[in-house]
Amino acid sequence: MPFDTPSSPSASYKLSPVVVLTGASSGIGRATALAFAGEGADLVLAARDREALEVVAAECSEAGARVLVQPTDVTDPGAVQRLADAALERFGQIDVWINNVGIGAVGLFDQTPIEAHRRVVEANLLGHMHGAHAVLPHFRARRCGTLINMISVGGWIPAPYAAAYSASKFGLRGFSEALRAELAGVPDVHVCEVYPTFVDTPGVTHGANYSDHRLRPPPGLVDPRRVAQVLLSIARRPRRATYVGVGARSGILAHAVAPNLVARAMMWLTERSLARSEPRPHTDGNLFLPSAGHAIDGGFGASKLAGRPSAVAGMAATALGAAALMGWWAMRRRRA
């Protein structure tokens, strides 16, 4: 469905809404840029690597979109403000702003450089805050607009060996809730959260790794193109929170009623996976430099299984649900 209908009676979208997208050079970002381009949106693409952005912009232009490339490091608030200013200068308005940047550093907390932890929080949490701070005055002035924060199921469930990532994602959830409360008096300004499970992007191989082992995501990965379609849907019909991937809701429920059990299970699964992986030297990955490689897919096979959750993922979801029920039953027993 093209963007020919406003998301609310007072939302004055043009026929071609203006979408600002950070983290647009690879993975979910690149898939999202192409999805919006195919639906007639005007695009402002941001990431650190201009050359990679130009490749994505050329693909979007071929699909008929008008595209502005604006190299941006979201950890720099001035750069993010210049991104918003450039979008307004080129297109006159911003209708949708998608905070999509996400990086990680894998390793035991006290064995990972503190500079790496700091960088993860700067990109994942402060980067989203910088984006919101740059665009919300425009949304308030127009009294409409949609801000989408790409969070993760990691915003609900702790991720051992990724403490800074967990901190940033839990923080993003609280940040989004607070913004929504502040904007309650402007009902056509929407703050939306997206919570995918593991997605088959290059993020795992691009990220920092201090674990001493090769990293590989678990089975049941989500195709990044599916996440892109979810973002399209939210841009058309904003909603508070959207969960993507098998096990997302059951995992959140399990953690709500049995947090210690889920935490121990996550640690056991992580250590078991690392123990089976071959050794790898430490790397800072894309923490301080742009990513090397800008594909949509991570190469772990999700695109071949699009729309078909794996049996392993299904069993994991069932196990988490069972854990939730066990936790609920145990709590009832203690209170009886």
Catalytic residues: 165
Length of the chain: 336
Instruction: Quote the strand ranges of the chain, DSSP E.
Output: 18-22, 42-46, 67-69, 96-99, 105-106, 145-150, 189-196, 208-209, 241-244
Q: How many CB atoms lie within 10 A of CB 92?
A: 10
CB 11 within 8 A of CB 17: no
Rounded distance between C-alpha atoms, residue 305 and residue 320, angstroms: 22
CB-based contacts of 210, cutoff 8 Å, min separation 6:
105, 106, 107, 108, 111, 112, 113, 116, 282
Q: How far is CA 25 from CA 45, 77, 200, 287, 299, in A?
A: 8, 20, 15, 15, 16
Position 236: which residue type?
R
φ, ψ of residue 232 in degrees (nearest 5): -60, -45
Rounded distance between C-alpha atoms, residue 211 and residue 113, angstroms: 12
Rounded distance between C-alpha atoms, residue 331 and residue 326, angstroms: 9
Helix (H) or strand (E) holding 131: helix 127-142
φ, ψ of residue 300 in degrees (nearest 5): -100, 5
